[in-house]
Amino acid sequence: VVGDASNPAIYDGRLRRFDRRLLFVKPNWVVIHDRVETDGVPRRLDWLLHAHTQEAFPGDAAAATFAVVRPDARLDGRFLHPAGLRMRVDRSFDIAPQKPRASVFLPWDEVQPEWTLTAGPPEPVAAADLLAVMAVGRAGEDVPSAIPLRRIETDNALGCHLPTPFGSALILLRRRTGVGMLEAEGLSCDGDAVAVLRTPGGDLLNAFAARATPLTLAPRRLLHRQAPGDWALHAGAQPQ
């Protein structure tokens, strides 16, 4: 899924581009890739995550990780790009909400606590790619950890390997200024995003490409078309 969040009415014309791309890799992973450009002036860019937890949820700037635990679910996340992100978790608001149709503040013990993770490049920038991955699951489930993920960085792409119950997913996403073929570990594609899922033995299970014409997973050509388009292959994978 791709969304354009650069509405001038929201950012006062200071943001020229804000493409947010979301990729869901079943059953647990959400990949978030933001491609951002300001109006040419270096500006502070903040990536926000809000959560209703009783206490401030943990965010580790050195490890670029964060975790949100709720009674019925949990989320474990990690920033893969850029390096050296600043990060902090603060109370979302310092003034209590008011009662409906009354200028009376609610007592704090009646207010659902909310905390906000703020992360971003350490210095003001005129453009940036931000890549985060989050593993989500129900309470009690064996949610994979985002900490040991192997990330991939090439001249024109960002990506990573994601462990799943089916096998390993290789993800490549085109950088904001990336041109040419996305290539890594035998995978080659001219699209904006590509993902392949393989068994531990290396057999292909699933594949996806966005705005692509050729897609090759050496030595197999999986896709060849005349015009760019979205494409997916599902081989009926079962967990193993």
pLDDT in tens, 3-34: 998 888 888 889 999 999 999 999 999 999 99
- Please tell me the least confidently modeled range out of 74-78, 123-127, 227-231, 235-239: 235-239
**pLDDT level of residue 112 (50, 70, 90 thresholds):** confident
Report H helices in the chain.
8-11
- Cis peptide upstream of residue 27 (ω within 30 degrees of 0): yes
* Burial class, 99, CB count within 10 angstroms (exposed 0-12 / middle 13-18 / buried 19+): exposed
Q: How much is the average pLDDT of 133-159?
A: 88
124: alpha, beta or left? (left if phi > 0; alpha if psi -120 to 50): beta
Rounded mean pLDDT of the chain? 90
Of 154, 162, 208, whose CA–CA distance to 181 is shortest?
154
Helix (H, G, I), strand (E, B) or coil at 105: strand
**CA pair distance 160, 59, nearest whole angstrom:** 21
pLDDT band at 236 (very low <50, low <70, confident <90, very high): low
| pLDDT per position as a tens digit, 34-54 | 999 999 999 999 999 999 998
Tell me how far CA of residue 15 lies from CA of 57, 129, 141, in angstroms. Answer: 30, 14, 40
Average the pLDDT over 164-173 and give the result. 94
Percent of the chain with pLDDT over 70: 98
Q: Tell me: pLDDT of 121 over 50.
A: yes
The rounded distance, in Å, linking the Cα atoms of 130 and 110 is 36
pLDDT in tens, 177-224: 999 999 999 999 999 999 999 998 888 999 999 999 999 999 889 988
